[in-house]
A and B are shown apart, each in its own frame.
Chain A
Amino acid sequence: MTTYQEFIQQNEDRDGIRCSWNLWPSSRLEATRLVVPVSCLYTPLKERPDLPPVQYEPVLCSRANCKAVLNPLCQVDFRAKIWACNFCFQRNSFPPSYAGISEVNQPAELMPQFSTIEYIVQRGPPTPLIFLYVVDTCLEEEDLQALKESLQMSLSLLPPNALVGLITFGRMVQIHELSCEGIAKSYVFRGTKELTPKQIQEMLGLMKPATSGQQGKPLAPHDAAASCRFLQPVQAVDMNLTDLLGELQRDPWPVPQGKRPLRSTGIALSIAIGLLEGTFPNTGARVMLFTGGPPTQGPGMVVGDELKTPIRSWHDIQKDNARHLKKATKYYEALANRAAVNGHSVDIYACALDQTGLLEMKPLSNLTGGHIVMGDSFNTSLFKQTFQRVFSKDYNGEFRMAFGGTLEVKTSRELKVSGAIGPCVSLNNKGPCVSDNEMGVGGTCQWKICSLTPATTLALYFEVVNQHNAPIPQGGRGAIQFVTQYQHSNTQRRIRVTTVARNWADAQSQIQHIETSFDQEASAVLMARLGVFRAESEEGPDVLRWLDRQLIRLCQKFGQFNKDDPNSFRLSESLSLYPQFMFHLRRSPFLQVFNNSPDESSYYRHHFVRQDLTQSLIMVQPILYSYSFYGPPEPVLLDSSSILPDRILLMDTFFQLVIYHGETIAQWRKAGYQEMAEYENFKQLLQAPLDDAQEILQTRFPMPRYIDTEHGGSQARFLLSKVNPSQTHNNLYAWGQESGAPILTDDVSLQVFMDHLKKLAVSSSA
């Protein structure tokens, strides 16, 4: 039998699934006592080069409220050509096309290795992808120029039949008509007036005259042509659009001294969404917002145009001093929901030194699966390459993006789904497998994920509903089926079905087994998502307190100790790393807002709740590599003790890549030894982390901020703020020793944290 490690890895590779527990407690009571809920991280579009999609429709259970897809877990009666649904036990006959099946002639979906399978289905005419650029023109000339170039470049990356549109905004919002020749036409909207989608469509001439009440229906072909004035195939308007972009001017309205430029981001987005809504509902589309500053007027305004009023900080928010926050957030949420309903996603590329209002605008991306990219300027490689990477292609030469996905979860009877956390919105489908107990976005068994990438990962939480005294369910296994329908970037409609099962275990008799089935990495991420999700709506300290409480309970549950004797506390191997994850999570920018602007927090959280497990873990606990003459590069503890003068450190926090040269190394480097032939090895040492960093940079989306610093450098703070402050000015015993770099902080170190944890875990009063 393989180890759990291998099992987990295997499962992840095949199905894109990591469960917190790989044995499930068979009763509700036991499940709740486990502290970490039965839950999983699911990557719906995990790249599976070895999984060719099948070209037919899935076979569905005929029960109306089940509709589960035929899968390897189903019992099949080959002679009777009947299969039993493993979720509802409904017996279904195979469709005529399956007439030839037999034990030796099974369709793919019945083979165990195809617990994840993808179907290509025919649903209506294929619709091209849509990219609608929403471009802020209140930029510095340099920025605008760089942005224009990026946009022009991007045209060559788009599939030729993709539809593109362009909206520019500043004080006004302009939606450019792309089909015309000669005079360049654009429709202009005032940046301060909120318009209903209907008004927008009327004003853009998208409404069929005298139609009424046909809301939501795709327009007839000839009307689509009308809409095409704004959305044209790239191949047709390539030149036009390139010129148009080239002629883009900075917003011509004068900006008086002491004012911010008037930026109508809110209206621009509302028009973009209104346009798509009216022309291509339920079609994959990306609205790509490029903005260089906060919205300063109209609905969705984040800050006034007076420069003397700074944009809200966490401090303001905590003091309830952010005037526009609630209104703007509400506005963007409403927009995001509209976009989500129609399957359109919104990307935000915000490049500015100051905040740009991501806090308020984040629902747009969070709810629709769009990207958020934050940078200092459009004229940086961070933006340029990230933007380019949006259009990266997979091994099949197809875009790593999918649109209009819906994820449906089906569970066997003992299990109900409590909710999901990820870039999705609820479709409010209350099926029989929906739990009343909500975690994350709950109350539904279907979620809409408007835009997916192969990395998009959702956290799904379940509730065991089997009663305490009920027997272990029949078959001994609980099953979950994930059905993801989406529009592939090549415009095909596809359905990916993943069916997983785990054994039930009696928590009282098999607690050890359950303990060993614990996936601490997945659990840490799953708990972290819950924490982040809470942090969005609750006060920071409350969330921390909740996390601590959960951790203590977990330790109490699984730790081995003598009461009131902290020193006796032990955790089994399967849980040993978990407290450390929690320690770093507590210090992470996802939960700590100190030193982060609200925008940054939003940005970090945005990425945290959508990346896969590996990346998420990096975010929680950055990886630290050490390079020295003493051996090959090695991962070292994320601890201040790792900061040594003769080492080069490479830290990957997901958002930043920091190369840190120890004091001695830095001096050598300054002295130019690397230039000398006899110190070739030093040169190589210097080069090694750079190469490794490049490797990471190549694959990471979004591009991390790349920082090359050294001991005493100002940028070293990125490293110092992440490492465990095992040595500080407070623990005198270590002060001045050659064992690392002291961190000037009052934060508790891991050791202290663990000490307290142990104390609390063993305390009988807790």
Chain B
Amino acid sequence: MRVRDELRMNVNQQPHMASPYGQPQPGYQGYPQPGYGGGHVPSGYPTQYAPYNGPGSGYQQGPPQGMRGPPTSGAPPVSGAQNYSQFGQGETQNGPPPMGAPPQRPPVSQTYTPGAVNMSGPQPPYGQQFGAPPVSMQQMTNQMASMQVGSTAPSPAGPGYAPPSVSQAAMSAPYTPAAPPTFPPTSTAPSQPPPTEAVAQAPPQSYYGAPPPAQQPFPNAAPPFSSTGPTQPQAPPPVSPQSFPQVSPVSQPPFSTAQVPPGPTQSYGGPLPPTQPSFPRPPLSTSQPSAFPAGPPPTSTPSQLPGVMQPQPPVSQPSPYHSGPPQISTGFPPQVGVPPRPPLAGMQGPPPMVSQGPLMASQGPPMASQGHPPMASQGPPMAQANHVPPTQPGMPPGPINASMSGPPPQPGMQGYPPQQNGAFGQVRGPQPGYTGPYPGQPNYGAPPAAPAPAPSAPKRLDPDSIPSPIQVIEDDKANKGSEPFTTGVRGQAPPLVTTKFQVRDQGNASPRYIRCTAYNVPCNSDMAKQSQVPLAAVIKPLAPLPADESPPYLVDHGESGPIRCNRCKAYMCPYMQFIEGGRRFQCGFCSCVTEVPPHYFQHLDHTGKRVDCYDRPELSMGSYEFMATVDYCKNNKFPQPPAYIFLIDVSYNAVKNGMVGIVCQELKTLLDYLPRENPDVESNIRVGFVTYNKVLHFYNVKASLAQPQMMVVSDVADMFVPLLDGFLVNVSESRVVIESLLDQIPEMFADTRETETVFGPVIQAGLEALKAADCAGKLFVFHSSLPIAEAPGKLKNREDKKLVGTDKEKSLFQPQVSFYNTLAKECVTQGCCVDLFLFPNQYVDVATLGVVPTSTGGSIYKYTYFQAPSDQERFLNDLRRDVQKQVGFDAVMRVRTSTGIRATDFFGSFYMSNTTDVELAGLDCDKTVTVEFRHDDKLSEETGALMQCAVLYTSCSGQRRLRIHNMAVNCCSQLADLYRNCETDTIINFFAKYAYRSVLSGPTKNVRDSLVNQCAQILACYRKNCASPSSAGQLILPECMKLLPVYLNCVLKSDVLQPGADVSLDDRAYLRQLVSSMDVAESHVFFYPRLLPLQKLDAESMSLPVAVRDSEERLSRGGVYLLENGLNFFLWVGVNAQQELLQNIFGTPAFSQIDPNMTSLPALDNPFSKRLREIIESVRAQRSRYMKLMVVKQEDKLELIFKHFLVEDKSNNGGASYVDFLCHMHKEIRQLLS
């Protein structure tokens, strides 16, 4: 039933989609284009579509636009659409409603992406048109798919794949086949009846016949597109949607039916049989499986199977599917699994195969690869196999997909197992497993328990059989990396942060600005409570964009300021509905109707949209900026340009470790690079200098002076600024004096014997200076030691490791005096942001010193045991970046939401004086605020949930601006939708921030327990409500969350939550504060470091080697690896590393001659060395902080540090290994379920 429901839902969604389209249909294409600048239009669509999962994206875009239109005009269609609309997302992607489109866009899209590619591949066979179809197909496939993987497999068979050379192609191939069917539906839509039937059959046919039909539809609608070739696919989608709307009602049934079939298949690994049969491919798959067995089986397969089997299910949602198989739960019991596998393999296998798809033929190989994965060869094979499968599975997994995916996983099973989910392994050959598994289940139950008595197998879960982050990442890259991501489709999850992709703003904020934990929000709080999935958005308001994406447009509404809703004060945005011929607009957030000011009036077109909709960013885009009027300024006057004040510790330690000299030297040049908005103009930012130890020295660097003047303020108890004129100066005017000053500072203090420092007064000084100058600004504090000198904010050394692990541990994270909290508040009021650079040799109480930076939107940098020669580079790079980066001042951020949800909690570096306004003295481009939402009412599936993040700030040139980010997500009444459209990386980001804040108020252990508990509930809820019935012993993970356990484990064993004996309190406090403002990309790599095998590096290629999992087992003694987590950078050298490799990298063939103290690699004139250094640089460039390279030789002392980052392994301080944790998790889930 569920399946059907889901399907229906999907259908609806699609219709929804359709509806929008329906109306706009013709217009659509046009619209999209208009959407943006004219320029966009033309290329926009095509490109977007094309890039996208071709179809999917295309649709999405269309729909959104359509969406808008619908409300106004096409009422009827609308209604229909609306229903669908709920699924909005689905619609978009699923242009082809029939398919699983509704199910999971995300997955779909992903899978599709590849599909898209494939499209091209398939196209040949099908014709270009296919391209499009594939998309839809993909969706379809997704749903059904996974299962069909097998079928897909066939697709693989689809020679088409072969062509696609690209791995994706492979994927797509399978889809494509599916796609055809979809198309049929779509296309059929028009033809209605037939479609339905067709649909049903479609799947099977799809491969063959389907495509054509699909094409047909496309041709019809999109003939023009067809011309575009690749783009065409997109076009078709729109068409299809349109058709849907029309057909929708009718078609739905068909779809449903159609889906149903898939559903069953999916859901049941078992049911598959039918499907399988349906899938002629299954046979193929089977054959493949068989093949697999043949090839890989022997080695990996069998072994894996056991493990894998189970893993598989877990791996991808497959689990659910597998669940069937899961019975395999025992799955582990490879025993059972085995048999099933074959089938599975067959079924799923194909999919994975598919992934390898491209390899179609080589499924066998894939298999092998799978087998290999575990081993060294994992690299490519692994990835591929994993990726592909996962995606596929993922796709399918969706709601039904889950089930669907299940299948894929299964296929994946073999392949997958190793990949990701395998973890759950119980998977047992889902399909076959069904029956078998069950029996086995009992056993399983136990086994899964973890080490449980379970057969030996359970004891040691095969690491390759559990979900692999690497696999997921690679799959996502493969599936989504090649096409732009368009934001117009509500409810669609963006590509993973690890994937490089382009974004097209079509009405929602780019994922670079906002990422949500869930893109389908439960309609009511009961659901939300039940699922326990946190609803949060990670907002990075000033995120930098790649060069090929344009920054938010600046909108000026004139003297009266931005147009806003009268009631809730939301800013004009695409969610505002213009009515009464354009004279009024209705707020999308609070529904209040507001008069349109005369100067803003514009007529509406027949769809109810303003004619100038696409000329105005605020009506068509997700992100844009308003010029703020004087009403938005403090004290009702326009702000002064901000100022940067450098406050340098010149006590003995700071001088001795070289910091003072380095800073002064660097500032001489760095000051030319202060942020500016127009690169041709000098920066408006003024600078000031202060040095301090026990007292503060201000400098008068007025341009008219021959020499700088130092003014010592020793009244630290009551800080003030001794001078006004001449303290803050324009760099170019006072250059000579400033340089003279910077030259003299190191000399002046070279012989200092002062060891005591103050800290509170230092910040007060900067604050007072800004107050006196009446401007906002940023303080750069370079500080070396615990401030023990007599002054406000004096601290005592309270480092007491005995408290770790006790109930009092929280006090270590709390500031020891309240002084800094008060100070921080004052700083925020003035718009004084504090960046702190620490150079400690011992405990400095970061927890306390960090209060001001973290409350003012500042950053903390810590260079423990700073040594000029080795740490200089790191520090300087950080400093340069920090000084140069774009930053807004005196910012206030407010998140408005549509009725029904409310932003309830905020995490990050900021201060809040009330419950709604996030105040940031400074907001730089790296700062992220995580916002948690809760229901306060029911949400409507029609309107979705809207949020608008408005940030009022002063730009670096002193302009007052408002940056608006709009985000709409779907609302779902089915939990499956929720699980299908969520993003684990974002969830982890939220959990980490939540947990890291909780350590302030409770024992760390409780925090860990509650995290585990919540995750268990999330997963249990899924298992209970979304996964197909299966043995209790089987671990079933939603596709989108299959990495939740591994990531969660990383969070749990992080230094903050579970410190080792060697982790200082300062480090913990530092990391805690650091994580609080991390964005998803940073938190992801921070918790799950990237490990790149260099021996696999191809010096000629521009691509990076595929990462390997963070486990010691994955390290080859003969290899060399790079590991990075955003803060640390290691080059690990295996003892047996090839001489040539060493020669290339270090210039010496001998392992023993490698200097472990080197911080940069020698510049050798060989391609490998060059490429490696390039890679190192590019990796550094990706991170907001410069990472110092440490060379770690295997079996060297330093290796201990390195091993700390192998997060899948058991850690020294008691952190569980991935496998163990997964078992533990499983146990928790089972407890919840029972």
Contacts and interface: CB of A to CB of B under 8 A. Distances in A.
Nearest to A186: B711
Contact of B744 (A172, A177, A183, A199): A183
B723 interface: yes
A182 interface: yes
Contact of B707 (A182, A189, A190, A203): A182
Contact of B722 (A174, A177, A183, A205): A174
B723 A172 contact: yes
Contacts of B722: 172, 174, 188
B714 A187 contact: yes
Nearest to A182: B744
Contacts of B744: 182-183
B726 interface: yes
A184 interface: yes
Interface in A24-50: none
Contact of B724 (A186, A204, A253): A253
Given A172-B720, A252-B724, A185 B712 contact: yes
B708 interface: yes
A315 to B, nearest CB: 37
Chain A's interface: helix, strand, loop or mixed, by majority? mixed
B1018 interface: no
Interface in A225-253: 247, 249, 252-253
A184 B712 contact: no
B723 A252 contact: yes
Contacts of B720: 172, 190
A186 B715 contact: no
Interface string B704-721: 010111111111001010
B725 interface: yes
B1193 to A, nearest CB: 48
Given A172-B722, A193-B718, A187 B711 contact: yes
B322 to A, nearest CB: 74
A195 interface: yes
A195 B709 CA distance: 24
Given A182-B744, A252-B725, A190 B718 contact: yes
B724 A189 contact: no
B144 interface: no
B1061 interface: no
A693 B469 CA distance: 103
A202 interface: yes
Given A183-B741, A252-B725, A203 B711 contact: no
Given A172-B720, A183-B744, A252-B725, A190 B714 contact: no
A183 B707 contact: yes
B895 interface: no
Contacts of B695: 203, 205
A194 B158 CA distance: 90
Nearest to B722: A188
Interface string B722-744: 11111000000000000001001
Given A183-B708, A183-B709, A247-B705, A204 B714 contact: yes
Given A172-B722, A174-B722, A183-B748, A190 B715 contact: yes
Interface in B740-758: 741, 744, 747-748
A174 B715 contact: no
A754 B520 CA distance: 111
B698 interface: yes
Contact of A189 (B708, B709, B715, B723): B715
Contacts of B712: 177, 185-188
Contacts of A195: 715
A188 B718 contact: no
Given A183-B744, A247-B705, A253-B724, A205 B714 contact: yes
B690 to A, nearest CB: 12
Nearest to B697: A185
A554 to B, nearest CB: 58
B791 to A, nearest CB: 11
A252 B698 CA distance: 15
Nearest to B696: A188
Contacts of A183: 699, 707-710, 741, 744, 748
A506 B709 CA distance: 74
A174 B711 contact: yes
Contacts of A193: 715, 718
Interface in A496-522: none
A752 to B, nearest CB: 61
B711 A252 contact: no
Most buried by B among A172, A182, A188, A252: A188
A253 B721 CA distance: 11
A152 B723 CA distance: 24
A172 B726 CA distance: 15
Nearest to B695: A203
Contacts of A172: 720, 722-723
Interface string A639-682: 00000000000000000000000000000000000000000000
B710 A185 contact: yes
Most chain A CB within a 10 A radius of its CB, from B714, B718, B748: B714
A202 B711 CA distance: 16
Contacts of A189: 713-715
B728 to A, nearest CB: 12
Contact of A203 (B697, B715, B748): B715
A222 to B, nearest CB: 13
A177 B697 CA distance: 13
A185 B712 CA distance: 7
Contacts of A204: 714
Contacts of B697: 185
Contact of B714 (A203, A249, A252, A254): A203
A253 B772 CA distance: 9
A432 to B, nearest CB: 48
Nearest to B694: A205
A205 B711 CA distance: 14
Nearest to A172: B722
Contacts of B711: 174, 185-188
A457 B723 CA distance: 44
A202 B707 contact: no
A250 to B, nearest CB: 10
Report which residue of A183, A190, A247 has the largest number of chain B beta carbons within 10 angstroms of its beta carbon: A183
A188 B698 contact: yes
Contact of A188 (B705, B713, B725): B713
A203 B723 CA distance: 18
Contacts of B725: 249, 252
Contacts of B724: 252-254
A199 B714 CA distance: 9
A313 B711 CA distance: 38
Contacts of A182: 707, 744, 747-748
Nearest to B741: A183
Nearest to A204: B714
Nearest to B714: A203
A188 B699 CA distance: 11
A441 B718 CA distance: 40
A163 B705 CA distance: 27
Interface string A254-293: 1000000000000000000000000000000000000000
Contacts of A190: 715, 718, 720
Given A183-B707, A183-B744, A252 B713 contact: no
Contacts of B715: 189-190, 193, 195, 199, 203
Interface in B662-720: 695, 697-699, 705, 707-715, 718, 720
The 4 closest A-B pairs by CB, nearest first: A203-B714, A188-B722, A252-B725, A187-B712
9 contacts: A174-B711, A177-B712, A182-B744, A183-B707, A186-B710, A187-B714, A188-B723, A190-B715, A202-B714
Given A177-B712, A189-B714, A195-B715, 8 more contacts: A174-B711, A182-B744, A183-B744, A187-B711, A188-B722, A193-B715, A249-B725, A252-B724
Interface of A: 172, 174, 177, 182-190, 193, 195, 199, 202-205, 247, 249, 252-254
